[in-house]
Amino acid sequence: MRKNFPLLTAATLLLSAASFRTAPPKGWEPLLDQSLSKWQTFESHRHVPGDKGQPPTDAQGQPLPPIGYGKNEGNVFSVTMQGGEPVLRISGEIYGCVFTKQDFTNYDLKLKVKWGQKKWLPRLDEPRDSGILYNSQGECGVDYWHSWMLSQEFQVSEYQKGNSMGDYWCIANSAADITARRTQDTLRFDPAAPTVKLGGGTAYFCYAASPERPNSEWTELELINVNGQSLHLVNGQVVMAVNNSSYVKDGQRQPLTHGKIQLQSEAAEVFYKGIVIKPLAAMPAQYARYFAGK
C-alpha cells in the first residue's frame, strides 16, 4: 500500500490540476459540456446551388420542411474533450444552429473560436463564416437562410474581402442604432461618428472597427449585453457597440433585450470552447462612453 501511495497522490494532483485549469472563475457559469446538455439543435436544409436562400421544393413546387429541431444529420454538431475541456465542433455542412435552452438577459458572455479546414457550398469561394446570435426569440427559420431565430448577430468571420470578426448583422427583422461612418456603400463602426439606424428596411450590416487578424490560433470573443445595449469584443478590444436593440413589427420598433444564444452552422467548419456566462446588473462603467448621449 505504501508503495502505491505516491502514484495515487500524483494522479490525484494531475486530476486536480486539470480541473483547476478548466474551472471557470467565480461567478461564471460554464455553458458547454460533453453532452451539450444546455443546448438544443436545429438544422435547416442541405444547400441546393442557386436557391438564393430559399428552401428546396418538391415536385409540385412546394417548399420542403426543414430537417428540424433536435436533429443532427451529418453529425454537424459534436463535442470532444481536448486538454481536459469540452470543444464544440460545428461542421457547417448543413445550415442551422445550436441554441441555449435558457433565455438570458443582462450578461457577459465569453468564448474562444478557431477555424477548421472544411468548407461547403455556398461558401467554397467565400471567407469562413459563423456567428453568435443573441437576444434570440421565436422560432428558427425566419431569416433569409431559413435557419435562425430573430436575433442580433456578433459576426464570426475570417478576415477576407473586408469581413472582420465582430461585425454586426440584423437577423430577420431585428434593428439597432450604431455610431458608424460611411465608406461608399458600407458602414464601419466608429464611436465618434453619427448614429445610424439599422434594420426596418434600411441598412442591416455594419463592419467592426478593427479588421486586423488575431495573433493567436484561438480568438477570444466577448459579448456584453445589458438592457438593449451590447458590446462586441475581440481579443479584449471593443470592435462594435450596438444600442437600442429592437425588432420591427408593423413598422414600429419593439424592444429586443433578452433571449437565447445561437451559434451558427454556416457552411464552414468551426470550433468553440471556453463558453462561460455571468449575470450583470448594469453596463460596466469602463464602457459607458460607448453609449453616452446616444
Q: Give the model's pLDDT for residue 278.
A: 98
Residue 11 lies in a domain: no
Neighbours of 87 (CB within 10 A): 18
Residue 9 belongs to some domain of the structure: no
Per-residue pLDDT at 12: 44
| Residue 288 neighbours by CB under 8 Å, 6+ apart | none
Domain that holds residue 167: 16-47+62-290
Give the C-alpha separation, 49 to 65, whole Å: 18
* CA dist list (Å): 172 to 2, 31, 166: 66, 26, 18
Per-residue confidence (pLDDT) for residue 17, from 0 to 100 = 41
Mean pLDDT by runs of 10 across the 294 residues of the chain is: 41 43 82 98 91 85 95 98 97 98 98 96 93 98 96 92 86 98 91 96 90 73 98 96 98 97 98 98 97 80
**Model pLDDT, residue 201:** 86
Q: What per-residue confidence (pLDDT) applies to 25?
A: 83
The amino acid that residue 107 corresponds to is Y
Q: Is residue 31 part of a domain?
A: yes
Q: Is residue 126 part of a domain?
A: yes
Sequence length of the chain is 294
Could you tell me if residue 52 is inside a domain?
no
Model confidence, pTM:
0.91
CATH of the domain at 158: 2.60.120.560
Is residue 54 assigned to a domain?
Answer: no
